[in-house]
Amino acid sequence: MADTIFAKIIRGEIPAQKVFEDDAMIAIRDVAPAAPTHILVLPKKPLVNIADADESDALLLGSMLLRAAAIARDEGFSESGYRLVFNINKDGGQSVPHLHLHVLAGRSLGWPPG
C-alpha cells in the first residue's frame, strides 16, 4: 500500500482534528469539507478501498458504519440526517488510496449526488 496522507495521520506524523480513535480506526474532520460537517472514518488496516476488502474485514467494516452512526449521535445530527459514502477508485471519486468512509451532514444533501 502507498504511504498515503491517511497512513501518516494514523501514525501521528501529520496532525489531524480527531473525533474518535481506537485500536481499529480513527475518525477525523476533513480539511476540505464538502458539507458543514464532514468527518472521515479511516481503518488503521491498510486497505485501498472497499473493493480491496474481503470476508475477514466484515467486522471492521461493520464497526466503521456503527462508529459513523455514533459520531452522528455525538455530534448532534443523527435526527436531522446525514450521508455515508465510500468512494471507490478514480471514477468513483476516490482521491486517496486508503479506505475511508465520509460522514456528511449539516445541510440538505441532494440526490443524485454526482
- What ranges in the chain are assigned the alpha helix state H? 5-10, 58-75
CB 97 within 8 A of CB 48: yes
Catalytic residue among 38, 98, 100, 102: 100
CB atoms within 10 A of CB 19: 18
CB 104 within 8 A of CB 34: yes
Confirm whether 102 is a catalytic residue: no
Burial class of residue 99, CB neighbours in 10 A (0-12, 13-18, 19+): buried
- By annotation, the residues acting in catalysis are 100
